[in-house]
Structure 1
Amino acid sequence: MQMRNHYYLSIDDLAHARGPVAELAYDGVGPNDFATALREALQMPVLFERWRAMQSAPDEVDPALGATDPAATVHATVDDVLRVDVDLVTSLPMSVVRHRMNLLIGANWTLRDMRAA
């Protein structure tokens, strides 16, 4: 059984948080939309495969970066006017979570804490 981790993340100004590649970036309007987008990005390989296809040597991309967790859960809530708190429970390593977050919203997020789930 893989170890599950609980990641506590925050996003400043979700309304303007977008990844660097428009075709891959989050395009929703609120915390529920973002939670859905992140959950899909972690549970299914679609976002990773789209990103990989854009690389100059797709076959050389580390396949471990494409790992998925069908049991990943994501909840996002508004903390104040601009900040959104995200609770994520997954067996995926931080390197995969970081990659998917950066594709979706760039560097507009912070890992606040991580614990065993």
Structure 2
Amino acid sequence: MPLRNHYYLSIDDLAHARGPIAELAYDGAGPNDFAAALREALQTPALFERWRAMQSEPDEVDPALGETDPAATVRAVLGDILRVDVDLVTSLPMSVVRHRMNLLIGANWTLRDMRAA
């Protein structure tokens, strides 16, 4: 059974947090929408496959970046007026979490803590 980690993330201004590729970027209205988008991005290969298809050499993309965790859980809540706190539990490595977060909202997030789940 793979090790599960609990990631504690924050997003400073979710209303303006968007990834660099418009076709792949998060385009929701709030914390619940973001939690659903991140959950889907981690549980299914859809976002990764769309990104991979955009690469000049899709077959050369590291397949490890395409890992998924069907059991991943995501909860996002308002921490204050602009900040959103995200609790993520997954067996995926940080490199995959970082890649999916960056596709969805760019560098507009911070890893606050990580612990074994």
TM-score class, shorter: over 0.9
Name the structure 2 match of 1:111: 111
TM-aligned CA deviation for residue 10 of structure 1: 0.1
> Structure 1 residue 99 and structure 2 residue 99: aligned?
yes
TM-score (norm 1): 1.00
- Alignment deviations for residues 16-68 of structure 1 (CA, whole Å, 9 cap, x no partner): 00000000000001000000000000000000000000000000000000000
Identity of aligned residues (%): 88
Name the structure 2 match of 1:72: 72
Give distance in 2, aligned partners of 1:47 and 1:79.
Answer: 27
Correspondence list, 1:1-117, <5 A: 1-117=1-117
CA RMSD of aligned residues (A): 0.2
Structure 1 runs of 4+ with >3 Å offset: none
Q: Secondary structure at the match of 2:7?
A: strand
User: Number of aligned pairs?
Assistant: 117
Unaligned runs of 5+ in 2: none
